[in-house]
């Protein structure tokens, strides 16, 4: 790229024009990758210290930070330290949007998050939290939330001293934008060292959660983060028992109805049901005293892969625990798996009843009845099943197969739970940058509508 020769440039006007041209080109993903590949990233970071070129260089760096593959290269520059200095030392009430936008993006990378926390000998996170609370700055809080999303114990353990303050914020804060980020941060802290039962008791979080989950009481973003927080709380056996007995399951079912087109909320609600089924202390409540299993059965054919996966795992636990539900779940799986086959049988039966079996009388070589009455040695499976079942409606091709693999005998329902799922193959909401939430396809909700 010939423009690289002009960065840096002793002529300020020429340098500025070059950067602006590069900014326009950086809207293309391939050009962004090329900018990083030819080694322009450190040079652009150095321009942050130039007051005349700071704004344009920050905009250009923001574009580069939009690609996950590029974020890791920022760890080899001094960008994270410079951003922290600009944020912490800012004398104004609000920070330049270009600075905080770049910091929010970089905080999503584990290496960058560690460098942000290491600012001033490991005081970076504390200084960020102090400024966020002092100014009630939801963008800095979003940056903190992104830092908390990483699995590294070294990062998560730095949040433990702030848990009590976060809990108090939930019940005292009125700014929903700031509150949403605090809830999301607390929901990311899946640490066994945190006594969530004591936190719930001290700040009365059960009633607060129930009030925020009622349909229409909060915006969708806050409701989603509260549901995720409930999933985190339910990982603790004592918290799960308190929440299950509080009637929160029915509130979640009502929210499921109200937000049925939002895959992320549906998925996280299903995950809460999984957590409640996983614990022995709450399994009886959700299975025997709520309609949650019926909703999980209805979601087995959902169009979202992750929703189906969580439902399947949860239903396996329910099948192992309750024989009555096990039969219903097995029947539902059998019907879903063989839906096309059953529809073909029903259509042929209707044709037979209405026309007194004209197909039987005029059976051709490819017709249903010609297949059924032929000798077994001549049988051709029109539905591509290899077992050779007669296609006369007496038995489904996979009935024995489903009876064997869905009995639940091999499943250990008290093993370690799987991690919180994420929506795949579909963009819902993005808590890391502003964007329009696209409309999702309507899913099946036919049990209790």
**Chain segment 121-180, per-residue pLDDT in tens:** 999 999 999 999 999 999 999 999 999 999 999 999 999 999 999 999 999 999 999 999
Look at the alpha carbons of 241, 242, 247, 250 in this order and tell me if their dihedral is positive or negative.
Answer: negative
Q: Residue for token digits 């993006």?
A: 105
Is 377 inside a domain boundary?
yes
Is 373 inside a domain boundary?
yes
Contacts of range 378-382, beta carbons closer than 8 Å, 24 or more positions apart: none
Is 243 inside a domain boundary?
no
pLDDT at 64: 96
Q: Residue for token digits 């087995």?
A: 300
pLDDT at 161: 94
Structural domain total, the chain: 1
pLDDT at 371: 39
Is 166 inside a domain boundary?
no
What residue ranges of the chain have pLDDT lower than 70?
1, 340, 350-418, 423-449
Is 182 inside a domain boundary?
no
Domain limits for position 352: 339-397
pLDDT at 4: 82
pLDDT at 334: 83
Is 368 inside a domain boundary?
yes
The Cα–Cα gap between 71 and 74 comes to 6
The Cα–Cα gap between 101 and 22 comes to 19
Q: Residue for token digits 């614990």?
A: 279
pLDDT at 412: 53
Secondary structure of 126-189 in HEC code, one letter for each residue:
HHHHHHHHHHCCHHHHHHHHHHHCCCCHHHHHHHHHHHHHHHHHHHHCCCHHHHHHHHHHHHHC
From the list 222, 212, 203, 211, the residue with the least C-alpha distance to 163 is 203
Q: With b meaning 16 or more CB within 10 Å and e meaning fewer, what string describes 308-334? A: ebbbebbbbbbbbbbeebbebbbebbb
Is 46 inside a domain boundary?
no
106: CB partners within 8 A, 6+ apart? 65, 71, 74, 79, 80, 83, 112, 113, 116
pLDDT at 427: 36
């Amino acid at each position: 790229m010939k423009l690289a020769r002009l960065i840096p440039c002793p002529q300020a006007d020429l340098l500025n024009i070059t950067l602006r041209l590069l900014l326009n080109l950086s809207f293309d993903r391939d050009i962004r990758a090329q900018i990083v590949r030819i080694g322009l990233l450190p040079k652009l970071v150095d321009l942050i210290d130039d007051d005349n070129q700071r704004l344009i260089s920050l905009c250009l760096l923001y574009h580069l930070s939009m690609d996950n593959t590029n974020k890791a290269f920022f760890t080899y520059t001094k960008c994270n330290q410079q951003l922290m200095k600009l944020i912490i030392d800012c004398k104004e009430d609000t920070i330049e949007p270009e600075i905080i936008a770049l910091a929010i993006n970089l905080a999503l990378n584990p290496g960058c998050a560690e460098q942000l926390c290491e600012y001033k000998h490991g005081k970076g996170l504390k200084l960020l939290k102090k400024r966020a609370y002092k100014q009630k700055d939801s963008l800095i809080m979003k940056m903190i939330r992104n830092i908390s999303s990483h699995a590294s114990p070294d990062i998560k353990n730095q949040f433990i001293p702030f848990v009590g303050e976060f809990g108090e914020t939930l019940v005292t804060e009125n700014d929903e934008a700031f509150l949403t980020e605090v809830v999301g941060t607390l929901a990311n802290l899946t640490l066994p060292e945190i006594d969530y039962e004591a936190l719930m008791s001290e700040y009365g979080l059960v009633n607060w959660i129930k009030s925020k989950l009622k349909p229409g009481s909060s915006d969708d973003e806050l409701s989603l983060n509260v549901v995720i927080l409930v999933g985190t709380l339910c990982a603790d056996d004592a918290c799960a028992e308190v929440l299950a007995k509080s009637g929160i399951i029915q509130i979640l079912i009502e929210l499921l109805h109200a937000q049925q087109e939002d895959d992320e909320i549906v998925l996280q609600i299903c995950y809460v049901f999984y957590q409640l089924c996983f614990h022995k202390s709450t399994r009886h409540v959700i299975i025997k005293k709520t309609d949650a299993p019926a909703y999980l059965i209805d979601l087995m054919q959902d169009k979202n892969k992750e929703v189906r996966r969580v439902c399947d795992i949860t239903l396996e636990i329910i099948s192992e625990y309750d024989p009555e539900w096990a039969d219903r779940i097995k029947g539902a799986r059998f019907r879903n798996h063989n839906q096309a086959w059953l529809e073909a049988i029903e259509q042929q039966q209707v044709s037979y009843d209405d026309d007194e079996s004209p197909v039987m009388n005029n059976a051709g070589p490819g017709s249903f009845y010609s297949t059924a009455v032929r000798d077994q040695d001549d049988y051709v499976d029109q539905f591509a099943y290899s077992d050779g079942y007669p296609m006369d409606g007496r038995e489904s091709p996979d009935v024995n197969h489903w009876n064997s693999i869905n009995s639940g005998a091999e499943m250990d329902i008290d093993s370690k739970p799987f991690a919180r799922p994420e929506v795949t193959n579909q963009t819902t909401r993005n808590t890391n940058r502003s964007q329009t939430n696209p409309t999702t396809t309507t899913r099946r909700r036919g049990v209790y509508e």
